[in-house]
Amino acid sequence: MFENALTRFSFIIALLVVPLVMTPALARPVDGFADLAEKLTPAVVNISTSQTVEERRSRGPGQPPFDRFFEEFFNQRRGGGKAPSQKVSSLGSGFVVDPKGIIITNNHVIEEADEITVTFSDGSKLDAELIGRDPKTDLALLKVSSKKNLPFVPLGDSDKARVGDWVIAIGNPFGLGGSLSAGVISAINRDINAGPYDSFIQTDAAINRGNSGGPLFNMKGEVIGVNSAIISPSGGSVGIGFSIPSNLAKTVTAQLQDFGETRRGWLGVRIQQVTDELADGLSLGKARGALVSEISPDGPAEKGGVKVGDVIVRFDGKLVPTMRDLPRIVAETKIDKPVQVEVIRRGKSRMLKIVTGRLEEASTKATQEERPQEKARTTDDVTILGITVQSLSRENRQRFGLAEDVIGAVIIDVARDSAAFEAGIRPGDVVSEIDQKSVGSAEAAVDALKAAKKTGRNSVLAFIRSGETVRFIAIPLSD
């Protein structure tokens, strides 16, 4: 009897507690989204494009010979050997951000279009002119001419968006204009390998084909994202959609409107991710920042005093949490602007003053620095930690295709069961620095590794050249 009473008591407590815990997580705005939809929908437009392409008639080498003969015969009877052209249409979304007719959409919506038509929620249509586009961020800016001011929506601050915030998407999925879907922000600063400046807002609001270029709104009615991509094996929404943050869109579209093109900042470095192992060798404490592995000659970084092996942790007052954050931060910086850059060099913080350049002015020539002439040249093999190295010589330069200006110790062999092999070290790699100190021979490399082992550390930082690629590797110090 006591057990039955206890069971009933527990059940009652569960009934009382669960709703209190669950209700806030599932609560929608009290009045729903109707008021927002009525206010915002007039500024969201459908974008249709057309492109003239040549019709492909031939089925290729595998086409039956008689089919090809009759196809060519009838094509010539129609007046020539060229296949007739046809128009290809596509649909997408966009939104007005200026009452004078400025519209934001995706680059892939209007790319290679001959004609662009904008359809408003009231059914009216206007031809659009392309102001500019930016494939790297998948953004484009259009202009329509209207005798009256057009309804528009403001761009909000996407940096204030938080995981769990309610958002709504309005667009043209599958050609069904004026469609609204609601959801929450699932993640921020998402990298999906779509471009060099990925920082997507991820949402579970339904985004489908045709939603591209449409707005993602917060509950204030501000645009915080431009819907751009989905992950879906079927082509339909599975609750994983991605939007370009509005703050990135502000910068890009402002440049497109002013110049018809983007003008990005340029630093002139090649960088790599800082792993936990590299952080240990760099005395960083924890993995952060962007590790400089190469510097462009006469670029802003070289002129500002940046060195190979520096870790950039702050740029123009903005933290650089990971490697992929730096290109976006630099790109958004004004050209010719003097900025303060914090680097960690040999475990110590340094402040450098750098004047940003323009990305398009970046030199395409090789970025190798001039190297001093190598001194010792022997062919004696030395093995340590499963790595067999030689000093550079004419023979092994020829064997591994190494240029005369490359210095260091060349790796001849790596034991497959060694920690060094697991770390990615391979024959033909050249070690030019160990523990951020230059090594010009096999003997110097081995001495540096032995010295590092005596410190009791788990790994040591090495600067490696693999073909045309240079990078830092944390060499494990365990046999």
Evaluate if residue 373 carries a pLDDT over 50: no
CATH topology of domain 158-259: Thrombin, subunit H (2.40.10)
Contact 367, 296 (CB under 8 A): yes
Q: Specify the pLDDT at position 1.
A: 43
For the stretch 450-455, contacts whose Cβ atoms lie closer than 8 Å and that sit 24 or more positions apart, written own/partner, are 450/384, 452/477, 453/477
Confidence of residue 446 (pLDDT cuts 50, 70, 90): confident
Query: What are 209's two structure tokens?
Result: 């084909």
What confidence score (pLDDT) does residue 372 get? 33
pLDDT in tens, 219-275: 999 999 999 988 877 667 788 999 999 999 999 999 999 999 898 999 999 999 898
Q: Give the whole-angstrom CA distance, residue 128 versus residue 117.
A: 6
In degrees, rounded to 5, the angle at the alpha carbon of residue 171 between the alpha carbons of residues 52 and 100 is 80
pLDDT class of 145 with cuts at 50, 70, 90: very high
Q: Do domains 40-58+68-144 and 266-361 have the same CATH topology?
A: no
Q: Given pLDDT bands bounded at 50, 70 and 90, which one contains residue 8?
A: very low
Q: Whole-angstrom Cα distance, residue 404 to residue 401? A: 10
pLDDT digits (tens, 9 = 90+) for 73-107: 445 545 555 555 555 566 899 999 999 999 999 99
Q: Write down the architecture of domain 40-58+68-144 according to CATH.
A: Beta Barrel (2.40)
Label residue 376 by pLDDT band (50, 70, 90): very low
What is the per-residue pLDDT for 192? 80
Query: Does 18 have pLDDT greater than 60?
Result: no
pLDDT at 420 exceeding the cut of 60: yes
Residue 19 pLDDT > 80:
no
- pLDDT for the residue numbered 104: 97
Highest mean pLDDT among 8-12, 269-273, 418-422: 269-273
Residues designated catalytic: 108, 138, 212
The rounded mean pLDDT for the chain is: 81
* pLDDT at residue 83, as a whole number: 52
| Domain 382-476 = CATH 2.30.42.10 | yes
Pick the CATH number of 266-361 from 3.30.420.40, 2.30.42.10, 1.10.10.10, 3.30.470.20: 2.30.42.10
pLDDT band at 301 (very low <50, low <70, confident <90, very high): very high
Residues 213 and 220: beta-carbon distance below 8 Å? no
Query: What beta strand segments (E) does 337-458 contain?
Result: 338-345, 348-355, 357-358, 382-384, 387-391, 409-414, 430-434, 437-438
Q: Can you give the pTM of this predicted structure?
A: 0.65
Q: Which residue has the tokens 């128009």?
A: 87
pLDDT tens-place string over residues 168-203: 999 998 888 889 999 999 999 888 877 778 889 999
Choose the weakest-confidence range: 52-66, 179-193, 348-362: 52-66
Q: What residues does each domain of the chain span? A: 40-58+68-144, 158-259, 266-361, 382-476
Which residues make Cβ contacts (< 8 Å) with residue 438, sequence separation at least 6? 407, 432
Q: Which of 234, 229, 176 is nearest to 198 (CA)?
A: 229
Of residues 404 and 22, more confidently modeled = 404
